[in-house]
Amino acid sequence: MSTLKHLIDGELQGGGSRAAPVYNPSTGEIIHQLALADAGTVAQAIAAAQVAFPAWRNTPAAKRAQVLFRFKQLLERDEREIAALISREHGKTLEDAAGELKRGIENVEYACAAPDILKGEYSRNVGPSIDAWSDSQPLGVVAGITPFNFPAMVPLWMYPLAIACGNTFILKPSERDPSSTLHIARLLHEAGLPKGVLNVVHGDKEAVDALLASPEIKAISFVGSTPVAEYIYAEGGRRGKRVQALGGAKNHAVILSDADLDNAASALMGAAYGSCGERCMAISVAVCVGEQTADALVARLLPQIKALKVGPGTSPGLDMGPLVTRAHLDKVSGYVADGVAAGAKLLVDGRGIRVAGHEDGFFLGGCLFDHVTPDMRIYREEIFGPVLCVLRVGSLQQAIALINAHEYGNGTCLFTRDGEAARRFADEIEVGMVGINVPLPVPVAYHSFGGWKRSLFGDLHAYGPDGVRFYTRRKAVTQRWPQSASREASQFAFPSL
């Protein structure tokens, strides 16, 4: 059994006295031991990043982009290998893993535009012989803490853009499925990234707290659960860091009576059960306007949920793989039991599923609840599993009010043929990412990703234009070259035109 190491100053190395197991969730077997960083390991990575920063900051943006162009080519070269690593440790299907990587590559492509996105602004003659310009400059050493559900994509939201902007980076990926993340980081060094610009330290709360405590870390990006996001935002802000912390979600799909229900049901299947529901943009609540709409939608969903093909993610032709860990399987199963106890109607029960040859895997089939009410725990809390709840309301306005009252505001969507209703929904809904007949409205790389309310702590969203703003700070320069032949008197009033 191999031990996965940290990547510090361009080299794989140990660090820390503790280790954690990495599982294959399809079999329940331990496949790796993972070195867990202590404060000393984190300090070593930070020191390497500090040493690398001055030269990297002064590297022309076009040369930084050339490294990223080569990195993109290597990601595409190793696509199948990376997808297999993701699937083996996370459990998602190979097709889903490949799709995740492609969305990550889009962010590398955006970062390749560094020479353009970092251009400043220039104004001539803002005053007598006075010119002014603004410039976007890197922060220094920055860090990212990423979740298990997208071990390739979410890190690629962060460090390609951060290093394109001239920063150096410390990545703390999830300890549950680190192999693909580590492989991708090594590809960036193969592409010509100087040592110390990107460092990867594995770990748990001890490593996170070391990053938070370090005054050398100027900014932290985080994606994960809301309690941890809130903790990182509070602790980072208290120490004067710039923090961008993306938290949990409870994403609603509203289905109007005029919607194309066949297409809506198909869209919901992928949005609710894709990746076993382990997505922050997964649809976990279907809000049906009208009893007939709800009955018709449920009738279409039932046979499709029962027909879901569940098995080891590395096998072809599947719809769902296992959940990531035994503990998470037990947690999601507990939510299902809680929904039954609260009085919701469990129409499809995915508990107890057995996959031949993988009896010790962490499998849960698709689950469907009907007649869920807003007071139930399965509605209020993020389940993060293959569980879809159906709620019934009498009007679009009631649906909007229901969603706006929820503590999370990450993503939502509306299924309708009514343009007026769609425009009203998009205007009035208090959610950061909205889809109209699009179930997973994840913005493309040249926009930015982020929710509202308790789904995001911080002022700036992830990647895209907001990512550039997060990883840089603006400097305004005003200069004047007086004519040598003139002598000017002192001015004591505040300067103006």
pLDDT beyond 80 at 497:
no
pLDDT at 358: 96
pLDDT at 1: 72
pLDDT at 16: 87
pLDDT beyond 70 at 101:
yes
Q: Residue 110: which residues within 8 A CB-CB, separation 6 or more?
A: 117, 161, 445, 446, 463, 464
pLDDT beyond 70 at 110:
yes
Residue pLDDT, tens place only, 414-456? 999 999 999 999 999 999 999 999 999 999 999 999 999 999 9
Helix axes 61-77, 79-90, angle to 10 degrees: 70
pLDDT band for 492, please (50, 70, 90 cuts).
Answer: confident
Domain boundaries, the chain: 2-247+455-477, 251-436
Mean pLDDT throughout 404-415?
98
pLDDT at 191: 98
Q: Which residue has the tokens 């979600």?
A: 249
pLDDT beyond 70 at 57:
yes
pLDDT beyond 70 at 471:
yes
pLDDT beyond 80 at 220:
yes
pLDDT at 129: 84
Structure tokens at 363: 């499998």
Q: Residue 59: which residues within 8 A CB-CB, separation 6 or more?
A: 166
Mean pLDDT throughout 113-121?
93
Q: Let me know if 165 is a catalytic residue.
A: no
Residue pLDDT, tens place only, 380-404? 999 999 999 999 999 999 999 999 9
pLDDT beyond 70 at 486:
no
- What is the CATH code of the structural domain delimited by 251-436? 3.40.309.10
pLDDT beyond 80 at 487:
no
Mean pLDDT throughout 12-23?
94
Structure tokens at 129: 């012989």
pLDDT beyond 80 at 495:
no
pLDDT band for 483, please (50, 70, 90 cuts).
Answer: confident
**Could you give the percent of the chain with pLDDT greater than 70?**
99
pLDDT beyond 90 at 205:
yes
Q: Residue 460: which residues within 8 A CB-CB, separation 6 or more?
A: 244, 448, 450, 466, 467, 469, 470
Beta bridge partners of 11: 8
Neighbours of 328 (CB within 10 A): 21
State the average pLDDT for the chain. Answer: 96
pLDDT at 176: 97
pLDDT beyond 70 at 92:
yes
pLDDT beyond 80 at 496:
no
pTM higher than the cut 0.75: yes
Name the 3-class secondary structure at 139.
Answer: coil
Strand ranges, E, within 128-213: 130-138, 141-145, 168-172, 198-200
CA distance 245 to 248: 10
Residue pLDDT, tens place only, 324-345? 999 999 999 999 999 999 999 9
Q: Which residue has the tokens 């405590």?
A: 213
**The sheet that has 283-289: what strands, in order across it?**
345-348, 367-370, 387-393, 283-289, 251-255, 411-415, 433-436
Domains 2-247+455-477 and 251-436 share a fold: no
In CATH terms, the superfamily for domain 2-247+455-477 is Aldehyde Dehydrogenase; Chain A, domain 1 (3.40.605.10)
Q: Kindly report the backbone phi and psi dihedral angles of residue 321, in degrees, each rounded to the nearest multiple of 5, phi listed first.
A: -105, -160
Helix axes 396-405, 419-428, angle to 10 degrees: 20
pLDDT beyond 70 at 323:
yes
Residue pLDDT, tens place only, 130-144? 999 999 999 999 999
Please report, for the chain, how many H helices and E strands are present, in that order. Answer: 16, 23
Whether 129 and 436 have beta carbons less than 8 Å apart is answered as no
pLDDT beyond 70 at 485:
no
**Could you give the percent of the chain with pLDDT greater than 90?**
94
pLDDT at 19: 96
Q: Choose the catalytic residue: 165, 280, 288, 367.
A: 280
Mean pLDDT throughout 291-315?
97
